[in-house]
Structure 1
Amino acid sequence: MTAVQVPVELLPHLRRARDVADRNYAEPLDLDELARAAGVSKYHFLRCFAAAYGETPMQYVTRRRIERAADLLRATNLTVTEVCGLVGYTSLGSFSQRFTELVGVSPSEYQRTQVGARIPGCFVFMLGLNSAIPEKQTEAGETYRRTEDNDEEEP
């Protein structure tokens, strides 16, 4: 099997698809949707993404979901079942199996071994998962921060 050479002009399109996966990891994502974001056929996208990033698009999405789940289990008092749903899994069994494969311990065991202050789950649900990130960056690289007085953003 020969290695796929990724055309340099395709790299920004692959990054766009990877960004879609990063932003929407908790939503149902499939190969067709990610390939559309890259603007190429799904089979070409699959080969080029794997060559560029060392894993298939769905392996990438799975890894991102599990990374986010580990963050939530470490930093909040949410249950494993709640975290499972928040990161895009509909089956607790599938989630636990993937988590164990990638992290090395079950989600419950991982959560038990984490120490430190935890954000109450009600705040996570009330404010949304991304509210803990106080700043965001635009595509042009400008950083914006939400003000406390209103819902508008200030540069």
Structure 2
Amino acid sequence: MPARQNRHAQPFASSLRPTSDDILQDPALLRRLLRTKDRMDAASHESWPVKRLAEVSSVSEAHFARSFKRAFGVPPHRYLLTRRIEQATTLLRDTELSVTDIAFATGWESLGTFGRIFRDITGRSPGAMRIDARTDVRQLDRVPACVLKAAQRPDLTIAVLEKRRRVAKDRFPPSTEEVS
């Protein structure tokens, strides 16, 4: 005897809705996301608001932000920060440019913001990073640039503000006194 079909089961058509995994399998969307990522890489010193990135990808802002994070593991803003910090680290190591010039060349609008975020991400000030990078340069002469860059890539799996909160939480234990 054939099994009875459940009247309350989802209709066949609704079970064919694309899932988030299906969306990432869309080759056209992946190509557009890669094209956008390449444009960010080539001009990381420029301002890249989500609206501009979405226009390059030819999708809505919300869809772009979700898809970019799913495809690359980090939101677009964090990806851009990573590229800027990588570029700044390279310039600190390989050039005689001042920290101010490097800050503006890598897309920062304020030296103070550059210094604070650079320190939050790398754990060192730009000046200290320059000194460390130059003392290590003799040891790293024979390491291919692509390997060195990947090894020195900042870890931005969490937001900079969250990282700052966690550090502050460790520095300042909560007060046990009541304040009235």
Which amino acid letter does the alignment assign opposite residue 115 of structure 1? Answer: R
Provide the identity percentage. 35
Structure 1 distance, partners of 2:105, 2:129, is 17
Matched, 1:29 2:52: no
- Secondary structure at the aligned position of 1:115 is classed as helix
Partner of 1:38: 57
Q: Which moved more, 1:98-107 or 1:86-95?
A: 98-107
Partner of 1:8: 26
Query: Unpaired runs of 5+ in structure 1?
Result: 119-155
Q: What root-mean-square deviation, in Å, do the aligned CA atoms of Structure 1 and Structure 2 show?
A: 1.7
Aligned length: 115
Higher strand share: 1
Structure 2 distance, partners of 1:13, 1:105, is 36
Structure 2 distance, partners of 1:30, 1:7, is 25
Asked whether the equivalents of residues 100 and 107 of structure 1 are also in contact (C-alpha less than 8 Å), the reply is yes
Partner of 1:103: 122
Partner of 2:88: 69
Q: Which structure would you say has the larger Rg? A: 2
Alignment counterpart, residue 84 of structure 1, candidates 87, 95, 103: 103
- Secondary structure at the aligned position of 1:114 is classed as helix
| TM-score w.r.t. length of structure 1 | 0.69
| TM-score w.r.t. length of structure 2 | 0.60
| Offset at residue 114 of structure 1 (A) | 2.3
The runs of at least 4 aligned residues of structure 1 exceeding 4 Å deviation read none
Partner of 2:113: 94
| Offset at residue 4 of structure 1 (A) | 3.7
- Secondary structure at the aligned position of 1:74 is classed as helix
| Offset at residue 70 of structure 1 (A) | 0.3
Query: Unpaired runs of 5+ in structure 2?
Result: 1-18, 138-180
